[in-house]
Amino acid sequence: MRIGQGYDVHRLVTGRKLVIGGVEIAYHKGLEGHSDADVLLHAICDALLGAAGLGDIGEHFPDTDERWRGADSLDLLRAVVGQLADAGYRPLNIDATVACEEPKLGPHRDEMRTRLAEAAGLEETAVNVKFTTGERMGFVGRGEGIAALAIATVSHTSSP
């Protein structure tokens, strides 16, 4: 069994959709980025890649590559799980935290969990998403951006 961690931040701007954990959330701002800027999915992808010793999503999906412009980050997660499989690893569980002052994300937790589990090929009980705020401190607390942290375990598929 191996373990990996991931961290990501994106700036909140007007004129963008807010997509977190594969769920579009009604809000007057969204996250800025080359893809859909799904901060939670990017942290999870990095945790999985890290666990398998496969680098980070910046290497695999560079923001200079037009293929990933506006990309659905659930597709990035599916691609990462495919890369893990090629390297002989499968995800075991994912735990993540999103730090966001506004909007309230709790009502979207179950839908995020369902989408993340489906894309990662895991049972929903193997995917956990938690929410916190910045307590009005720092860039999260001022609503300038959203941060996400994730941890993932993977096992080698040839292991018993």
* Listed residue (115, 135, 104, 107) closest to 44, CA to CA: 115
**Given the complex with Zn ion, which of 8 and 101 has the nearer CB atom?**
8
Secondary structure class of 140 (helix, strand, coil) = helix
Instruction: Select from 15-23, 38-46, 88-96, 152-160 the region that touches Zn ion (CB under 5 A).
Output: 38-46
Instruction: Tell whether residue 8 is a contact of Zn ion (CB under 5 A).
Output: yes
Q: How many CB atoms lie within 10 A of CB 137?
A: 10
CB 24 within 8 A of CB 18: yes
**Given the complex with Zn ion, which of 6 and 134 has the nearer CB atom?**
6
Q: Which of 42, 108, 113, 115 binds Zn ion (CB under 5 A)?
A: 42
Q: Which tokens belong to 10? A: 């994106």
Instruction: Tell whether residue 46 is a contact of Zn ion (CB under 5 A).
Output: no
Residue 101 phi, psi dihedral angles, 5° rounding: -75, -45
Instruction: Tell whether residue 101 is a contact of Zn ion (CB under 5 A).
Output: no
Shortest CB 61 distance to Zn ion, Å = 10
